[in-house]
Amino acid sequence: MRIRVDGRIHEVSGEHLLLPLLRRLGCDVPSLCHDPRLAPQPACRLCVVEVGGVAHPVPACATAVEDGMEVRTRSPELEAHRRVTLELLARRQPADALRDPAASELARLVGAYGLADAARGGADAPPVDDAHPYIHVDMGRCIDCYRCVRICDGLQGQFVWRAWERGDRTVIRPDSGTTLLASSCVACGACVTACPSGALQDQSVREHGVPTRLTRTVCPYCGVGCELEVGTRDGRIVQALPAMDAAVNKGHLCVKGRYAFDFVAAGDRLTTPLLRTDAGWRAVAWPEAIAVTAARLRAIVDRHGADAVGVLGSARATNEENYVAQKFARVALGTNNVDCCARVCHAPSAAALADVFGTGAATSAFDDIELARTILVCGANASEGHPVIGARIRQRALAGANLIVIDPRRIELARVPGALHLPLHPGANVPVLNALACAIVEAGLVDAAFLRARVDGWEDFRAHVLRFRPEDVGPAAGVAPALLREAARRYAADTPAIAFHGLGMTEHVQGTDAVIALANLALLTGNVGRPGSGVNPLRGQNNVQGSAHMGCEPALLTGSARLAEAAPRFAAAWGAPLPTRPGLRLPGMMDAAARGELKALWAMGYDVLPTNPDVAASHRSLAALELLVVQDIFLNETARAYAHVVLPSACSFEKDGTFMNAERRIQRVRQVLPPPGEARPDWAPLCDVARALGRGDGFGFASAAAIWEEVRAVWPAGRGITYERLEGGGLQWPCPDTAHPGTARLHGESFTAGPRAALRCIEHRPSPEETSADYPLLLVTGRSLYHFNAGTMTMRTPNRVLRPGDRLDISPPDAARYGLAEGDRVRIASRYGSTTLPLHIDDAPREGELFATFNEPATWVNLLTGPHRDRRTDTPEYKRTAVRISKA
């Protein structure tokens, strides 16, 4: 298209509306109500422009671009109109609102029009609401643009901000009618980024000032991988804003990414290496810490062999650090005893998806959410665990897509209007998914053409799943047969359908089986490999996909290459022989330590003690070690109790590298601040100790970039991903060469494993963890929105105000049965241990079932969870523990 703007002709394409186009062309057209994340709703009328052939000025934000258009943006009439409009807005403001042009969009505009002294308001302003730990509310500065209302509805879907009263008396307030803290706000901060007037402000900016520098990096929390613009001032982080053009979060964040950064400046950060002595911790310089660690490792290897040592990578460390950790284990020590926290979450997903499709990772991109007609969410409380994806799913459902939620609890997504909730009992995933397959087969809704073209095993599978009729399976699984049949119909008939699953699927003894049963549904209905479809694990921590993919797995090398086949290739690349003896997984390492066979453990960014199940068993294992080396940003619980050497780490805001999110996207992590004291990136001490062990060849890295170059050299599917290319945004692997655009969706024409995939006949093998007269209730553990894993980071932020700590959720009938009231402290005991938690009465859990978070080290919820593990991958069964409760 060709349009003329202020006399200049432009060839344009790609923009539908005039305002974003004018801004892209460099025209400074003002607006206060426009937000690129929302559909236009002209209110301020500052963006009016003159269009040739149109009698009156039109709002550019709501006017479509047309070929041949003639647009004037700055006529004297337009400027006079804008000036009058701005003056009316300025008059209502308190005097101090407009003094600093950096304070708000309104202050900048008013200043540009010479109206900073026009403010006359403030006398009858509503009271300031300063109760919220993150958001300051001063509705005396509101200009009625409704951006806060619209962004809360249209981006987050929380519907917190509302217009109260009528006419001249209209005022915007939260749904509580009182303070924001008392409302249903989830503190995503979208309203603050949208507010142009300063009515809503970040408390941190008010306290420390506006940032003087912005650095783009990736959120340190969950596997969604939201990109941030981190604002710093005077050597501290004062603000974290969403990157507006980010591929994943598209200008949105959750409370953790947006606000939970105060842990970086916490006074108890580790700043120097520590050695445990009889008199307590002794701070030492790095050379001594490296020498002591190397000497003790060498002595253990000499006496007991390399397999007496284990190394744990970390889902919170970068790809580069995890790559070095597994290379350190294999080359510097000579053992395949290397694992990471993927073991305790999504190892079953990786195993199942690799089995069925050939690649153990998400089949699709998050952008497939908006292309799906049906979204199936299994065992994933996305609104709390992966909130930005939870919001995207909710918005898609509100726009008309089917939403099916398979979860024991009535989680937030199950409450979305129109959602179908299948409230299965914990551990019933396999029968429920097989029953859906049965219902699809019986209703004749299989994709016969897809099956013929790309799927094997149909006849056997058909006979198998017909044994799982909803009417037979549903009652025992806890789901009404009619619900199962309706869910099956929507998933199979209203396509494309996409599935997301979480730890409610994988953290069971049937974890791998359940993911295979889910993949069966996708094969049966052709819901894989095409836009809006797929099977996608929602990864818990920011780099859990990357830590495993870099080779922190006993039987897999970088790029998930099988050790047995790829060892010669890696030996050639590394110039060193690789151990070929099978390595131990984390649970195996813990068992071996308890037996006295594993003598040393190096845990990089992994607080094993509170996060592993059956804490009593973990105590026995860790206590038996001769050497425990812990790298972390704080003296975590594992280090405090058992470490011999503690090495201070830089957090992700303090180093360079890359993370890999849940949709296989590699994104750049950039240093925002220097690390405190002597803290260093985790790869650096590993290289130092390798050198001290006399295995320095191959560990001479000078930077994260140098490590990444080696990763590219040994990982064919990542060869095209360079740091230079990542400057333009993340890339999803496979990306085999530097001209390749990356792969948003796998298995389009054929599967990674070959042209055809096979349906698998999955039997249900129940958990040995059963209720009894002594332990009559079933406990499920999980996350809350405000806290993250062992709470190491979020418990050192004002998120503690929003959720003070762990709690036990119980249904109203069970609370009445046990004579318990809201807030009571409740003793909860399993066959493995006991703890005490405050009680919350909630309609989310079913009768007979309880839910507890595990984010607070002080409560040790994992004292309760037991020894059962997924049969294929050893992933612990966190999601089903028989317990009893009593008032404490």
110 close to 117: Cβ distance less than 8 angstroms: no
Taking contact as CB under 6 A, which single stretch among the options 129-137, 246-254, 288-296, 490-498 is the one that binds ligand SF4? 246-254
Tell me if 247 contacts ligand SF4 by CB under 6 A: no
Q: How far apart are CA 784 and CA 763, in angstroms?
A: 32
Residue 542 CB, nearest approach to ligand SF4 (Å) = 6
Residue 504 CB, nearest approach to ligand SF4 (Å) = 18
Q: What is the length of the chain? A: 888
Residue 242 CB, nearest approach to ligand SF4 (Å) = 8
Which residues have a Cβ under 8 Å from the Cβ of 791 and sit 6 or more positions away?
855, 856, 857
Tell me if 502 contacts ligand SF4 by CB under 6 A: no
| φ, ψ at 621 (rounded to 5°) | -65, -50
Helix (H) or strand (E) holding 174: strand 171-174
Tell me if 254 contacts ligand SF4 by CB under 6 A: yes
Tell me if 730 contacts ligand SF4 by CB under 6 A: no
- Residue 231 forms beta bridges with which residues? 214, 239
Among 20, 40, 225, 791, binds ligand SF4 (CB under 6 A): 225
Q: How far apart are CA 463 and CA 448, in angstroms?
A: 16
Tell me if 135 contacts ligand SF4 by CB under 6 A: no
Measured from the CB atom, the residue of 387 and 698 that comes closer to ligand SF4 is 387
Residue 82 CB, nearest approach to ligand SF4 (Å) = 36
Measured from the CB atom, the residue of 217 and 272 that comes closer to ligand SF4 is 217
Residue 431 CB, nearest approach to ligand SF4 (Å) = 31
Burial of 439 (0-12, 13-18, 19+ CB in 10 A): buried
Taking contact as CB under 6 A, which single stretch among the options 44-52, 254-262, 414-422, 806-814 is the one that binds ligand SF4? 254-262
Among 155, 190, 219, 757, binds ligand SF4 (CB under 6 A): 219
Among 221, 261, 634, 878, binds ligand SF4 (CB under 6 A): 221
| φ, ψ at 771 (rounded to 5°) | -75, 160
Measured from the CB atom, the residue of 514 and 785 that comes closer to ligand SF4 is 785
Measured from the CB atom, the residue of 222 and 690 that comes closer to ligand SF4 is 222
Instruction: Report which of 483, 370, 502 is spatially closest to residue 432, judged by C-alpha positions.
Output: 483
- Which two tokens mark 662? 């849940």
Tell me if 226 contacts ligand SF4 by CB under 6 A: yes
Measured from the CB atom, the residue of 249 and 293 that comes closer to ligand SF4 is 249
Distance of CA 261 to the CA centre of its chain: 15
Measured from the CB atom, the residue of 386 and 725 that comes closer to ligand SF4 is 386
Residue 393 CB, nearest approach to ligand SF4 (Å) = 12
Measured from the CB atom, the residue of 294 and 793 that comes closer to ligand SF4 is 793
| Lookup result for tokens 């409560």 | 859
Among 3, 60, 145, 253, binds ligand SF4 (CB under 6 A): 253
- Which two tokens mark 625? 């070690």
Tell me if 224 contacts ligand SF4 by CB under 6 A: yes
837 close to 826: Cβ distance less than 8 angstroms: yes
Measured from the CB atom, the residue of 92 and 250 that comes closer to ligand SF4 is 250
Residue 387 CB, nearest approach to ligand SF4 (Å) = 5
Element counts in the chain: helices (H) and strands (E): 30, 37
Among 65, 222, 627, 795, binds ligand SF4 (CB under 6 A): 222
Residue 202 CB, nearest approach to ligand SF4 (Å) = 15
Instruction: Report which of 723, 724, 718 is spatially closest to residue 742, judged by C-alpha positions.
Output: 718
| Lookup result for tokens 């190394």 | 311
Distance of CA 758 to the CA centre of its chain: 31
- Residue 264 Cα distances to 233, 291, 588, 869, angstroms: 14, 28, 34, 35
Please count the other Cβ atoms lying within 10 Å of the Cβ belonging to residue 694: 10
Among 150, 173, 250, 256, binds ligand SF4 (CB under 6 A): 256
Measured from the CB atom, the residue of 225 and 529 that comes closer to ligand SF4 is 225
Taking contact as CB under 6 A, which single stretch among the options 145-153, 223-231, 562-570, 598-606 is the one that binds ligand SF4? 223-231
Tell me the CA end-to-end span of the chain in Å, nearest whole number. Answer: 72
Measured from the CB atom, the residue of 250 and 869 that comes closer to ligand SF4 is 250
Which residues have a Cβ under 8 Å from the Cβ of 197 and sit 6 or more positions away?
32, 89, 93, 97, 104, 105, 106, 141, 142, 143, 145
Tell me if 257 contacts ligand SF4 by CB under 6 A: yes
- Residues that contact ligand SF4, how many (by CB under 6 A): 14
Residue nearest to ligand SF4 (CB): 257
Measured from the CB atom, the residue of 312 and 388 that comes closer to ligand SF4 is 388
Binding mask 378-417 toward ligand SF4 (x if CB under 6 A, else -) reads --------xxx-----------------------------
Give CA angle at 627 (622, 632), nearest 5°.
80
In 328-479, alpha helices (H): 347-356, 382-385, 387-398, 429-442, 448-454, 458-465, 470-477
Among 249, 395, 611, 658, binds ligand SF4 (CB under 6 A): 249
Tell me if 662 contacts ligand SF4 by CB under 6 A: no
Measured from the CB atom, the residue of 388 and 420 that comes closer to ligand SF4 is 388
Segment 539 to 558, residues that bind ligand SF4, using CB under 6 A = none
Q: How far apart are CA 696 and CA 710, in angstroms?
A: 15
Which residues have a Cβ under 8 Å from the Cβ of 561 and sit 6 or more positions away?
569, 570
DSSP helix/strand/coil, 452: helix
Residue 236 CB, nearest approach to ligand SF4 (Å) = 20
Measured from the CB atom, the residue of 253 and 356 that comes closer to ligand SF4 is 253
- Which two tokens mark 434? 């097989």
Half-sphere exposure of 250 (CA within 13 A, CB side): 16
- Residue 262 Cα distances to 96, 388, 651, 735, 792, angstroms: 28, 21, 12, 36, 12
State how beta strands 849-853 and 48-51 pair. unpaired
Binding mask 737-766 toward ligand SF4 (x if CB under 6 A, else -) reads ------------------------------
Instruction: Report which of 757, 749, 730 is spatially closest to residue 741, judged by C-alpha positions.
Output: 730
Measured from the CB atom, the residue of 665 and 846 that comes closer to ligand SF4 is 665
Give CA angle at 356 (353, 360), nearest 5°.
25
Please count the other Cβ atoms lying within 10 Å of the Cβ belonging to residue 414: 21
Residue 226 CB, nearest approach to ligand SF4 (Å) = 3
Taking contact as CB under 6 A, which single stretch among the options 31-39, 218-226, 342-350, 362-370 is the one that binds ligand SF4? 218-226
Measured from the CB atom, the residue of 392 and 490 that comes closer to ligand SF4 is 392
Instruction: Report which of 866, 862, 858, 863 is spatially closest to residue 792, judged by C-alpha positions.
Output: 858
Taking contact as CB under 6 A, which single stretch among the options 30-38, 248-256, 482-490, 508-516 is the one that binds ligand SF4? 248-256
State how beta strands 280-283 and 657-660 pair. unpaired
Measured from the CB atom, the residue of 158 and 560 that comes closer to ligand SF4 is 158
Residue 249 CB, nearest approach to ligand SF4 (Å) = 6
Residues at the interface with ligand SF4 (CB under 6 A): 219, 221-222, 224-226, 249, 253-254, 256-257, 386-388
